[in-house]
Amino acid sequence: MQTNRPSSDSRVGSHHPTSLADDSTTRETAPPRILVVDDEPLIADTIVQILNRSGFVAEAVYGGREAIEAARRIVPDLILSDVLMPHLDGVEAAIAIQKFLPNTRIILFSGQAATVEILARASHRGYHFELLAKPLHPTQLIKHLRRN
């Protein structure tokens, strides 16, 4: 699936905000940067392609640990993450990321009912994340991401 990755990836990767002030000014005009996390590369990659076609700047990673690294590197405006992933699940990764990126909007995305319980545990620890159910039609996903 690596071959499917959009060419815009490199642009996201090379984006380095210089300062917080600079970041907030560019946010007004620059397209929102989104980090897509899913252990199923097909899902992560197709979502990235859809988002990149719809005016976002998206990048895909395939695990919780990679998500933390990528978040540090690209400082996304928004993270769309699967929940049940091997090694480090989406909730744990989201909590870790939220600690150093408090302004990043994190949306969890899951196909399992058990996710709700995991999310409840996160909210007990003081973290409240949005949750979207898979499957979600791309038009609705885009609509949801554009909201707020």
Partner 1 sequence: MDSAITQASSPAASQTEQQLRLLIETGLMLASERSLDVIVQAALDAGLHLCGARFGAFFYNSSDDIGAPYSLYKVSGADSSRFASLPMPRPSGIFNVSFIAQEILRSDDITLDPRYGQNPPFAGQPPGHPPVRSYLAVPVRSRAGHVLGCMIYGHPEPGVFTQASEDLVATIASQAAVAIDNVRLSDSLTNEISHVDAARTLQRQTSDRLHQALDAAQLGTWIWDRATDLLDLDERAAVLFHTAPHAPITRTALRQRIVLSEDQAKAFKSMERCVASGGLYSVEYRIDSPDGSQTWVSASGIATFTPGSSRIAGMVGTVQDITARKTQESALRQSEKLAATGRLAATIAHEINNPLEAVTNLIYLSRTDPAVPPPVQLLLETADTELARVAQIAQQTLGFYRDTTLPSEIDVNELLHGVVDLFARKMISRKITCTLDLEPGLCIYGLQGEVRQIFSNLIVNAIDSFTFATTIKPGGIHVRGRHLRGRRNGISILVSDEGSGIPLSVRQRIFSPFFTTKLSVGTGLGLWVTRGFVEKHGGSIRFRTRVGDPAGTIFRVFLPANSPPTDLPPEALALHLPA
Question: If binding is defined by CB under 8 A, does position 87 make contact with partner 1?
Answer: no
Residue with smaller CB distance to partner 1, 102 or 126: 126
Out of 25, 100, 114, 143, the only residue in the binding site for partner 1 (CB under 8 A) is 114
Burial class (CB in 10 A: 0-12, 13-18, 19+), 71: buried
Q: Identify the residue among 42, 55, 69, 103 touching partner 1 (CB under 8 A).
A: 42
Euclidean distance between CA atoms 45 and 58, whole angstroms: 10
Span near partner 1 by CB under 8 A; candidates 16-24, 58-66, 98-106, 135-143: 135-143
Whether the Cβ atoms of residue 74 and residue 59 lie closer than 8 Å to each other: yes
Does position 104 interact with partner 1 (CB under 8 A)? The reply is no
Give yes or no for a contact between 110 and 121, defined as CB atoms under 8 angstroms apart. Answer: no
Q: How far is CA 49 from CA 41, 97, 141, in A?
A: 12, 23, 13
Residues near partner 1 (CB under 8 A) are: 40, 42-43, 46-47, 49-50, 53, 84, 111-114, 116, 119-120, 123-124, 128, 130-139
